Amino acid sequence: MVLDAGTTRMKAYVFDDKLNLVIRTVLPMKKKILSHGRVEQSPEEMITSARAVIRAAYDEAAHEGVKPKLFGITNQRETVVAWEKNTLKPIGPAIVWEDSRTKELCAHYHSWSETVRKKTGLPIDSYFSATKMLWLLDNDTAVAVASAHKNLSFGTVDSWLLANLAEGAPHLTDTTNASRTLLLDAPGETWDLGLCGFFRVPVTTLPKVQPSVSNFGYLKHDVCGAILKVCAIAGDQQASLAAISEVKGTTKITFGTGAFLMQSLGADFKLHPGFMTTRLATTGKICYGLEAKIEGTGAMYEEVRADEEKSLKVLKRLSEELKVLIAKLPLKPKLITIDGGMVQDERLASILEKTLKIKVVNQTVPDGTALGIAKLLSKSL
């Protein structure tokens, strides 16, 4: 079973032992877009929605004679949740990855951006988690008080879900999510104390970092009526690449809230102009990937989806933007795999192939993020 905690949907999947999709359940997720670039979500809704789709998927699978034993999570990355350690009560709303309230703060740190990029693979940007945590510490009294009393936990969405759904409320994350915070140096397996000090985020507030495939505990019995072992967690974009391969040069595009292009670098940590370097979800040696995104593509497409002519224009414009990005990749791909909600438009693959002059194939399951976690779970057996 896989829980996919996206920005606009909470989904649960059940795959059989041959990685065929058996069950898919989904609930919409609300998102508040406020003034001054603020984008927030309810941590409580994340939990109630997660419980609902997990229970529904498990019950439906049981009706089909399938009983999942393993559980994994893939999630929207960079989004930050703050909560009380002793009660698991969230402190305010979650600050979503799209939120840009720390833009001015990031500009203040601009002169350090390249130094941080050389350590983490990422520039100092409001997109990532560290400045969101710093903003909360400086601007939310309840967060500051909890920190002063050593009763504060920070986490990305995977950590928040795990703390509420697993026995013993473990405070854990995996390397792919940790690598998107600006607080983990590129080859690191634990938080970088220098980076934590630079962004003034107490390391005691952060979850323990583990490999993407490892023991994250057990799902509480009351979540679905069974105790499932949690043994795979990865951020959504790394999960969708894991659904294909970690082999150097593997390239994919996920069409979700944004369009996310990622290419595997293999074991070599490299910086490349116009791209972020990030950790991949692997079961063995450390691997890295290059990533770039085009924001707002999902909303743009949804607005005109019912209009054949207008939606075609959006697909063609998006293909041209992707062509520019792909031309900058260090390795020219011979094949690109695409997944995400927009691939259900049968025109997308052919438009991309014609524009890019590269073979484009649809992932076997449109939700490649979930398939990637299912593959990682199968490797844990």
CA distances from 273 to 77, 122, 130 (A): 22, 11, 22
Q: Is residue 277 part of a domain?
A: yes
pTM: 0.93
Instruction: Say yes or no: 231 and 105 in one domain.
Output: yes
pLDDT given for residue 288 in this prediction: 96
Q: Can you give the pLDDT at residue 296?
A: 79
CA–CA separation, 374 and 135 (whole Å):
35
Strand 81-84 versus strand 94-95 pairing type: unpaired
CB-based contact 93:149 (threshold 8 Å): no
Which residues form the domain of 79? 2-235
Lookup: tokens for 225: 């009526």
Number of domains in the chain: 2
Q: Could you tell me if residue 379 is inside a domain?
A: no
The verdict on residue 97 lying in a domain is: yes
Note whether 32 and 165 are same-domain residues.
yes
Does 219 lie in the same domain as 98? yes
279 and 137, same structural domain?
no
Res 341: pLDDT: 83
- In this predicted structure, what is the pLDDT of residue 381? 73
Task: Say if 13 falls within a structural domain.
Answer: yes
β-pairing, 259-266 with 288-294? antiparallel
**Per-residue model confidence as pLDDT tens digits over 264-305:** 999 989 999 999 999 999 877 899 999 999 887 877 888 887
pLDDT of residue 209: 96
Q: What HEC string does 252-269 produce?
A: EEEECCCEEEEEEEECCC
Do 150 and 254 lie in one domain? The reply is no
**Distance (Å, whole) CA 84 – CA 161:** 14
Q: What Å distances lie between residue 40 and 29, 178, 236, CA to CA?
A: 11, 20, 19
The candidate with the shortest Cα–Cα distance to 287, out of 270, 271, 272, 266, is: 266
Residues 216 and 356 in one domain: no
- Residues 215 and 120 reside in one and the same domain: yes
Determine the pLDDT at residue 188.
85
For residues 301 and 169, membership in a common domain is answered with no
Each residue's pLDDT tens digit in the chain (381 positions)? 999 999 989 999 999 989 999 999 999 999 999 998 999 999 999 999 999 999 999 999 999 888 999 999 999 999 999 999 999 999 999 999 999 999 999 999 999 999 999 999 999 999 999 999 999 999 999 999 999 999 999 999 999 999 999 999 999 999 999 999 999 998 888 999 999 999 999 999 999 999 999 999 999 999 999 999 999 999 999 999 999 988 999 999 998 878 899 999 999 899 999 999 999 998 778 999 999 998 878 778 888 878 888 888 889 999 999 999 999 999 999 999 999 888 888 899 999 999 999 999 999 888 899 999 999 999 877
What's the CA gap between 367 and 370, in Å, rounded?
Answer: 6
* Residue 145 shares a structural domain with residue 184: yes
**8 A C-beta contact, residue 91 and residue 147:** no
Both tokens assigned to 261: 């292009």
On whether residue 373 sits in a domain, the answer given is no
Q: Is residue 347 part of a domain?
A: yes
CB neighbour list of residue 82: distance below 8 Å, 6 or more residues apart = 90, 91, 92, 133, 136, 140, 143, 146, 152, 153, 154
Residues 81 and 21 in one domain: yes
Report angle CA 229, 234, 239 to the nearest 5 degrees: 115
Among residues 205, 235, 265, the one where a domain terminates is 235
Considering the domain architecture, whether residues 159 and 207 belong to the same structural domain is answered as yes
Residue-wise pLDDT tens digits, 108-148: 999 999 999 999 999 999 999 999 999 999 999 999 999 99
Q: For the residues of 241-254, what is the DSSP string, one character each? A: HHTT--STT-EEEE
Q: Tell whether 201 and 55 lie within a shared domain.
A: yes
**Beta pairing, strands 32-33 & 335-340:** unpaired
Asked whether residue 285 is assigned to any structural domain, the reply reads: yes
Residues contacting residue 97 through CB under 8 Å, at least 6 positions apart:
7, 76, 77, 78, 79, 127
Place of tokens 């939310």: 140
Does 377 map to a domain?
Answer: no
> Degrees (nearest 5) of the Cα angle 73, 78, 80?
90
Last residue of a domain, one of 211, 235, 259: 235
Report the pLDDT value the prediction gives residue 308, as an integer from 0 to 100.
Answer: 85
Could you give phi then psi for residue 343, rounded to 5 degrees?
-70, -10
Q: Identify the CATH number of the domain in which residue 279 sits.
A: 3.30.420.40
What is the rounded CA–CA span in Å between residue 109 and residue 115?
A: 11
Cα angle at 323 between 317 and 324, to 5 degrees?
100
User: Among candidates 358, 349, 352, which has minimal Cα distance to 322?
Assistant: 352
Phi and psi dihedrals of 368, rounded to 5?
A: -65, -25
